[in-house]
Every structure is written in C-alpha cells, then in structure tokens.
Amino acid sequence: MNVNVQSHPEGCVLEVKAQPGARKAELRGLQAGMLKVCVTEVAEKGKANKAIVNFLRKTWKLRGSQIEILSGETNSQKKLLIRNVSPEELVQLLVDCGIEND
C-alpha cells in the first residue's frame, strides 16, 4: 500500500488529505500517498478538524485520545498521530475499510 505512514514513539503518523464540506463523511482512497478523508463540516473554527478526528475514531473504533492532529490544522494536508497503533496495524485498518492496496 502506498500510504505515507511513519513510525512514532507513541504509535504512528498518518498523512491525510482533508476535504471539508463534502456530501457525506467517508474515506475516499489514497491521493499522493495520503489518505483522503471527506467530512460534511466546513473548514472554519476547527469544525472540519474535529469532524475528521471523530470520524476516524469511530471508523477505526479507537478512543478519542488516540488521534491527534500534529500539523496542518489550517491546511488540507495534515499529519495525524495515531497512538498505540503500529504502522502495520494502521495499514490493516485501512485495508479493512476497503482502501485499495496498490
């Protein structure tokens, strides 16, 4: 899978391409090595960022404290820290969600 996932002392770091204001919240595959995450909330006052974290947390059945935005809070390209999940486990979560392994 050509997704940008780096190891981190607390878990792993995932690169995400955010698309706020979409019709529905969904994972829309990989784009340039980043996971494309669509949310219905607009990109103002952190609403879309919160929606992305909540959507991924629910999708992957993680606790709220396990996902944190490390960088890109005001950018569509973000780096998320996923705590207590190895890069290999994260890739498996993506496969389980139907993200194609290319």
List, in sequence order, every residue forming a beta bridge with 69; answer none if it has no partner: 80
Q: State which residues form the domain around 20.
A: 5-96
Q: Residue 39 — pLDDT band, cuts 50, 70, 90?
A: very high
- 42 in a structural domain: yes
| DSSP line for the chain | ----EEEETTEEEEEEEEETT-SS-EEEEEETTEEEEE-SS-SSTTHHHHHHHHHHHHHHT--GGGEEEEE-TTSSEEEEEEET--HHHHHHHHHHTT----
Please name which of 63, 95, 91 lies closest in space to residue 6, comparing C-alpha atoms: 91
Residue 72 confidence (pLDDT) above 70: yes
Alpha carbon separation from 74 to 18, 29, 37, 43, 66 (Å, rounded) = 10, 22, 15, 8, 21
CATH of the domain at 80: 3.30.1200.10
Give pLDDT, residue 2.
82
pTM over 0.85: yes
Mean pLDDT over residues 40-68, rounded? 95
- 16 in a structural domain: yes
- 102 in a structural domain: no
Distance CA 44, CA 75 (A): 11
Number of domains in the chain: 1
- 101 in a structural domain: no
